[in-house]
Amino acid sequence: MAGGSFTSMTPGLLHSVSPLSNLSDDLNGSRNFSERMSAPHGAVTDTIPFLSRALVTTAVGIVAGCLISAAHGFLEFTLFHLIEYLGRIGKARRLAPSFPVTMNNYRKEDFFAVAFWLMPLSAFAYTNRQIYAEKMKFSGDILGCWLYAFTMMVLHDTYFYTVHSLMHRVKALFSTFHAGHHTTRGDLTVYATAFGDPFEPALTFAPFYFAVFYYYAHENVSWDPVAWVMLLWALNMVDMIGHCGYDLPVWVFGPASSGVLLVPLAQRSKHHYIHHLDPRFNRALYFTWWDRLGGTFKEHHPKVEEKRDSGENPVAD
Ligand SMILES: [Zn+2]
Ligand SMILES: [Zn+2]
């Protein structure tokens, strides 16, 4: 890839980790653990730092998960008012005008849904922080960074489409992880991003990003912060826009998705709105390609046309 994100680093870098940062070695290193336990005098003195490191890592994970979720909430708040303003000046159209635009009770569920899956991921990142710090490299290659963000979104979209489709096919998965999210239909706002089931992102987001973080911790590759800012910005904004309840002008997707969703056949808020009205359709996250290939794509849906100006309440269907 043209970007610096995949640039190879010096061999041997993977093993240059400080003892403090390598909790995973402690957790997985049964030989060291059994050695500690079999040494009567060393066992206690070795176990105390091990426990203190575990406690610190857990605390860091919890605090980081909450802080990132709070930042996500601030983005929601900002975007909510920006989109509402665009609606007032006629630049954006409410998909279901019969519903009032309110900051509703989604926020509490949304906060924990975002925070929960980020806690173990943050703890994992903290554990491997020295490795990540050593592998960080500003490439200065903006096109490469954009291609990296695009590639990651294509990969995550593939994963998301598969898992999301499974949740709609397997009753137990749907009722456990996804039914709550589908209680929101015509009354969508940005606060519906993760509404309903706090553990849903444990299926739709966590495994993908854990795999990526694990890859960077164990493979001989560097990463570019610029590419990751592009990616994480787009991930947050696109998910919120997908739930905003407005038909937005295309230019919004330039800054909102780091430009990634300006590619042909990218998802728009209308598509995910259709998914909330009729869950058989539009199950992807970023692009419409998988839905088109899988026969689950809908560009127009009679329910949207019916609800748009009728004043009818879709939730009562
Ligand atoms: Zn949704
Ligand atoms: Zn769904």
89 pLDDT exceeds 90? yes
**Nearest ligand, measured from the Cα of 184:** 1
Q: How far apart are CA 70 and CA 64, in angstroms?
A: 10
Determine the angle formed by the axes of helices 42-88 and 106-127, rounding to 10 degrees: 140
Q: Which domain holds residue 271?
A: 4-316
Give me the number of domains the chain comprises. 1
The rounded Å distance from CA 194 to ligand 2 centre is: 11
Q: What is the pLDDT of residue 309?
A: 56
Q: What is the pLDDT of residues 111-163, one digit of tens each?
A: 888 899 999 999 999 999 999 999 999 999 999 999 999 999 999 999 999 99
The rounded Å distance from CA 139 to ligand 1 centre is: 35
Average pLDDT over residues 149-178: 95
Strand-pairing partners, residue 246, are: 94
What pTM, to 2 d.p., does this model score? 0.80
DSSP secondary-structure letter at 196?
S
210 pLDDT exceeds 70? yes
Q: Which long-range contacts (CB under 8 A, 24 or more apart) does 211-218 make?
A: 212/152, 213/121, 213/124, 213/125, 213/128, 214/124, 216/131, 216/132, 216/135, 217/124, 217/128, 217/131, 217/132, 218/14
The rounded Å distance from CA 294 to ligand 1 centre is: 19
The rounded Å distance from CA 52 to ligand 2 centre is: 41
194 pLDDT exceeds 80? no
**Nearest ligand, measured from the Cα of 165:** 2
233 pLDDT exceeds 70? yes
The rounded Å distance from CA 180 to ligand 2 centre is: 10
The rounded Å distance from CA 184 to ligand 1 centre is: 8
**Nearest ligand, measured from the Cα of 204:** 2
Confidence grade of residue 42 (pLDDT, cut at 50, 70, 90) = low
23 pLDDT exceeds 70? no
Confidence grade of residue 20 (pLDDT, cut at 50, 70, 90) = very low
Query: Per-residue DSSP letters for 142-162?
Result: HHHHHHHHHHHHHHHHHHHHH
226 pLDDT exceeds 90? yes
